[in-house]
């Protein structure tokens, strides 16, 4: 593709921008290039071009569903090597996308959230019991433990499976394996595009990924087999039951066994690593902004007085409006899905001025848009009250998209928000957060963003 868009300096034939790219933190690096390269620029990794869109008006226009749709390529294309046409990685035109979307939609309704609430409370209490014990001997490893919480939660509410994540102090082996697989897929665009050479150079990594994938599949196959042989006592409306026993209301088709396996892997991953990242960043931001933590606690203690043992009911979560703003603001500064891929449905002009071609791979760079000066004089400041309705109204629409956009936006949004608000509220009710004084936030990209080696002291209140 020839392009007149700006591109990074020192571009080389064949390699493109490989030497100036940063495979370990690709989207953070792209966001860092915005001041130099502008609101829309081109990058090239080997022979693949990607148009990077970070101008707020261009980003909003890229979300116009009449002219643009989800692009399946790059890391999502590589994810298809593992989970094929499961919900997240399917082309919108593939029959299994709408089939699975229709079959699974009931599991994300408001009444479904009400059903999940008690399990979410129980699982958060397990985290707190675990932290009560461990925090006495020093700071806790935040992301390892938020991952235990969210994996345990999605395992139970989606699939009736108990990962028993809190029985060991090690990271959950399933989380480690599946994160390894997806992290590898996320980096795959930077793999040497010569197959035999790539396999020679990376043979140990590849062997590890294959072992991780085999383990992931064996756990998932076990979960499915257990439900098939013992459906008695299990809910008839969780994710697994819907997939095993219900057909697409449009067309009457069921999902195949292989597709169900891929959906389970997808949901265990999408359902846990996103919410754990959100909680980890939120806890870091709260620990380093005690004024915000105090305001949140005041709200929480107005519902559940200090010193009591809270028994949150479903409706409480919607009363925690400040805690919700903390989550919204966390996902603004650290959108754990730092961008989403789009493509023009036909040749068009982006923002009325940049010609783009049907199918051209583009990324809507949420990470940069969420920090644009349009947010105010200090866009990097952590200020949950940006999400007060009266302040939100003063901003242009279409610039806050942590859950993606349109038809292919996140199906788990309500679940993730309910779980995040609930967990943060119970954690803040229980503990004062003590940041590690020497800690400088470092953010890893393994498909999603997550803080590296974040530790916090927890002092029971």
Catalytic residues: 274, 403, 410
97 vs 130, beta carbon nearer ligand MNH: 97
* x-marked contacts with ligand MNH along 272-311 as a string, rule CB under 6 A: --xx--x---------------------------------
According to DSSP H, which parts of 289-406 are helical? 290-303, 314-319, 321-333, 366-369, 389-392
Give the integer Cα–Cα distance in Å for 151 and 220.
Answer: 13
CB of 445 to ligand MNH, least distance (A): 14
Contact (Cβ atoms closer than 8 angstroms) between residue 271 and residue 119: no
Of the candidate residues 334, 375, 400, 403, the single one contacting ligand MNH (CB under 6 A): 403
Q: Is 260 in the site for ligand MNH (CB under 6 A)?
A: no
Q: Is 155 in the site for ligand MNH (CB under 6 A)?
A: no
31 vs 135, beta carbon nearer ligand MNH: 31
Of the candidate residues 310, 412, 435, 451, the single one contacting ligand MNH (CB under 6 A): 412
HEC profile of 112-124:
HHHHHHHHHHHHH
Q: Which helix (H) or strand (E) holds 51?
A: strand 48-53
Pairing of strands 48-53, 40-45: antiparallel
CB of 66 to ligand MNH, least distance (A): 17
Structure tokens, 260: 């169900």
Q: What are the b/e assignments for 80-103, b being 16+ CB within 10 Å?
A: bebbbbbbbbbeeeeebbbbbbbb
Q: Which helix (H) or strand (E) holds 427?
A: helix 413-430
Q: How is residue 165 annotated by DSSP?
A: G
According to DSSP H, which parts of 7-109 are helical? 26-37, 56-62, 74-83, 95-104
Residues 327-366 that bind ligand MNH (CB under 6 A): 331, 336-337, 340-341
7 vs 370, beta carbon nearer ligand MNH: 370
272 vs 289, beta carbon nearer ligand MNH: 272
The alpha carbon of residue 314 and the mean position of all alpha carbons in its chain are separated, in whole angstroms, by 24
Q: Is 125 in the site for ligand MNH (CB under 6 A)?
A: no
CB of 19 to ligand MNH, least distance (A): 28
Of the candidate residues 7, 49, 70, 418, the single one contacting ligand MNH (CB under 6 A): 70
CB of 204 to ligand MNH, least distance (A): 30
CB of 415 to ligand MNH, least distance (A): 5
Site residues, ligand MNH (CB under 6 A): 70, 87-88, 101, 154, 266-267, 270-271, 274-275, 278, 331, 336-337, 340-341, 402-404, 408-412, 415-416
């Amino acid at each position: 593709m020839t392009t007149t868009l700006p591109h990074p300096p020192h571009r080389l034939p064949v390699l493109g921008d490989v030497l100036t790219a940063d495979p370990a933190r690709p989207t953070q690096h792209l966001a860092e290039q915005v001041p130099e390269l502008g609101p829309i620029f081109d990058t090239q990794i080997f022979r693949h071009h990607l148009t990077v869109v970070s101008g707020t008006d261009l980003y909003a226009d890229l979300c116009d569903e009449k002219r643009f749709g989800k692009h399946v390529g790059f890391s999502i294309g590589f994810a298809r090597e593992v989970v094929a046409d499961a919900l997240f990685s399917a082309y919108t035109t593939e029959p299994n996308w709408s089939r699975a979307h229709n079959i699974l939609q009931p599991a994300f309704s408001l009444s479904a959230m009400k059903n999940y609430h008690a399990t979410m409370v129980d699982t958060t209490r397990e985290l707190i019991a675990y932290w009560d014990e461990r925090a006495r001997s020093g700071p806790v490893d935040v992301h390892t433990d938020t991952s235990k919480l969210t994996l345990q939660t999605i395992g139970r509410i989606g699939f009736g499976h108990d990962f028993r994540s809190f029985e060991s102090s090690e990271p959950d082996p399933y989380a480690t394996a599946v994160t390894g697989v997806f992290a590898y897929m996320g980096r795959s665009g930077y793999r040497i595009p010569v197959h035999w050479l790539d396999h020679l150079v990376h043979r140990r990594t590849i062997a590890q990924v294959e072992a991780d994938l085999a383990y992931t599949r064996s756990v998932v196959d076990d979960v499915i087999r257990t439900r098939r042989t013992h459906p008695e006592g299990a809910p008839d409306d969780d994710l697994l039951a819907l997939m095993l026993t219900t057909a697409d209301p449009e067309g009457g088709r069921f999902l195949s066994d292989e597709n169900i396996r891929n959906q389970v892997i997808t949901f265990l991953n999408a359902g846990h690593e996103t919410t754990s990242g959100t909680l980890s960043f939120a806890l870091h931001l709260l620990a380093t902004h005690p004024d915000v933590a105090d305001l949140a606690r005041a709200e929480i203690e107005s519902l559940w007085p200090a010193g009591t043992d809270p028994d949150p009911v479903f409706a409480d979560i919607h009363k925690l409006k400040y805690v919700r703003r903390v989550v919204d603001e966390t996902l603004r500064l650290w959108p754990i899905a730092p961008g989403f891929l789009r493509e023009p449905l036909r040749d068009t002009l982006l923002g009325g001025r940049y010609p783009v071609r049907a199918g051209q791979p583009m990324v809507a760079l949420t990470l940069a848009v969420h920090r644009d000066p349009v947010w105010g004089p200090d866009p990097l400041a952590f200020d949950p009250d940006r999400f007060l309705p009266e302040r939100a109204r003063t901003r242009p629409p279409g610039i806050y998209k942590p859950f993606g956009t349109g038809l292919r936006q996140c199906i788990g949004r309500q679940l993730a928000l309910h779980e995040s608000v609930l967990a943060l509220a119970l954690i803040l009710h229980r503990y004062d957060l003590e940041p590690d004084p020497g800690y400088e936030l470092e953010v890893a990209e393994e498909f999603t963003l997550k803080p590296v080696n974040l530790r916090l002291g927890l002092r029971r209140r």
